[in-house]
Amino acid sequence: MCAYMSKLHSNVKAHRLSATKRIVEHAFDGRPFDTIWEEFDKIPLGIGAIAQVMQQYEISNGRFTKPK
């Protein structure tokens, strides 16, 4: 089972940026995506079976927000 599951994280394709935007807007109570991030790298830093990680810069404080 572990061998099978370990293949999932490395063989997953990134989802569309439009899906990311929709999810982020929902998480920020409907706030428009472009008002949340000053910069948002469209290329994922990593992709997993349950998550996708992207680098972003927050508009409100102008600081780099490290992926958690």
Residue 38: give the domain boundaries: 2-65
Residue 31 has what pLDDT? 92
DSSP at 66: -
Q: How far apart are CA 48 and CA 32, in angstroms?
A: 26
Q: What is the pLDDT of residues 20-38, one digit of tens each?
A: 899 889 999 999 998 988 8
Distance CA 3, CA 34 (A): 40
Q: How many domains does the chain have?
A: 1
Q: What is the pLDDT of residue 13?
A: 78
Q: Which residue has the higher pLDDT, 40 or 60?
A: 40
The answer to whether 56 and 41 have CB atoms below 8 angstroms apart is yes
> Helix, strand, coil: what percent of the chain each, to 5?
35, 20, 45
Phi, psi of 7 (to 5 degrees): -80, -20
